[in-house]
Structure 1
Amino acid sequence: MKLRPTLVVLTVLLPAVLVLVINLGVKAADNSLVASVEKKIEHIQQNATLEHPDEKPTEFTEQEINVYIASGRVKLPQGVQSVRFTGEPDLVTGNARVDFDELKAGRSSSNPLLSVFSGVHDVVVVAHARGMNHQGHVQVESVSLDGVEIPRFALQLFIEKYLQPKYPNIGMTSQFALPAKIDTAIVGQHKLTVSQK
């Protein structure tokens, strides 16, 4: 079973003056973090093949997740870029740059409530997230575009019109089976800890 990481991208932009001085060190650090995530994912996948998986938790740091997503190893939806996650206990904040016209892929609506979802915007999503008993649970608390919070009813309309046709299990509240015999997924302060059973 292939594990699709559900968490996170970090795009590191260095000032032009420092690029030549520290570029190699940053790439080496990024490569090391990517390798660390790949090793952990491989462990989870191999552990899932066992009849009785090792229950020792596997921990991903926020930095590892963000660098891994920024590396391009996670396929993001069309129009979504510069994704970065921040973890607090049971709470995930995701920041991204979203081109809604690209994300909607030419589908339009005459509903004026959906007109805010056009063009390119900085998006912040705050959601409660946890995994228990082999089930993932995500409840979106708020979404803002360019610092302005979007009313829940407008967000629900957008999800139904543009996201659910392509991603039917997505919503303001989502529940899904965790892959690879993952029993728990706990979001902590700048980390994600998963246990298999």
Structure 2
Amino acid sequence: MLAALACFAKTKTPPSDVASMEQKLHHIEVNASAQRPDQTPTVFTEKEVNAYVASDNVKLPVGVQSLKLAGTPGVITGTAQVDFDRVREGVHSSNPLLGIFTGVHEVVVVAHAHGSGRTGYVHVDSVSLDGVEVPHFVLELFVDQFLTPKYPQIGIDSQFALPDRIDTATVGEHQLAVTQK
């Protein structure tokens, strides 16, 4: 849901943050191929994640720009500029409740997220457009009508397999820690 509702602006970021993120991702890939992976947590800082996302390394969904992520214990907040006309391209609805999802808006998504047993879990708590919270039932309509057809793995409640033998993922204060098993 965050990825589908968020957007990235290509901004200049210190190469060291991107390089640090790339180095940690490489460590995870190499560690995954070990017979007994090192279980020491790999910690990604919020600064590294945002630099990496703003780089050319991540391709965001059409219509999503300027994504910034912030972590507090167990919670991820994503803020982005979303062009809903581009997100909705090719899919139309006559439902007037979905009329708020037109034009360009600042979107803030707050979600509980964690990983355990090699499975990632995300529950979207709230979504706001330009500072106004979207009612849950309207959000469900939007997800069903526009997101699920394009991104079947994304929803208000999402579960997915964690890659590279990642066993746990813990969102902390301005960081994400992952362990491999």
**Structure 1 counterpart of 2:177, which letter?**
T
C-alpha distance in 2 between matches for 1:59 and 1:125: 23
Out of 87, 92, 95, the position equivalent to 2:71 is 87
> Residue 176 of structure 1 corresponds to which residue in structure 2?
160
Deviations 1:24-67 (A, max 9, x none): xxx6x610110000000000011111121110110000000001
- Cα contact 2:63–2:87 (8 A) shared by 1: yes
Deviations 1:141-170 (A, max 9, x none): 000000000011111111111111111121
C-alpha distance in 2 between matches for 1:195 and 1:112: 45
Secondary structure in 2 aligned to 1:110?
A: coil
C-alpha distance in 2 between matches for 1:196 and 1:10: 29
CA-CA distance at 1:69 after TM superposition: 0.4
> Residue 78 of structure 1 corresponds to which residue in structure 2?
62
Matches within 5 A, 1:1-197: 30-197=14-181
- Cα contact 1:91–1:128 (8 A) shared by 2: yes
C-alpha distance in 2 between matches for 1:63 and 1:11: 15
**Structure 1 counterpart of 2:170, which letter?**
I
Dislocated runs of 4+, deviation >2 Å: 8-13
Structure 1 unaligned segments of length 5 or more: list them. Answer: 1-5, 14-26
C-alpha distance in 2 between matches for 1:108 and 1:62: 36
Larger Rg computed on CA atoms:
1
C-alpha distance in 1 between matches for 2:62 and 2:35: 38
How high is the sequence identity, in percent, across the aligned residues? 56
Q: Report how many residues are paired.
A: 177
**Structure 1 counterpart of 2:84, which letter?**
F
CA-CA distance at 1:10 after TM superposition: 7.6
C-alpha distance in 1 between matches for 2:94 and 2:170: 41
CA-CA distance at 1:89 after TM superposition: 0.1
Change (3 A) 1:11 1:61: farther
TM-score normalised according to structure 2 size: 0.93
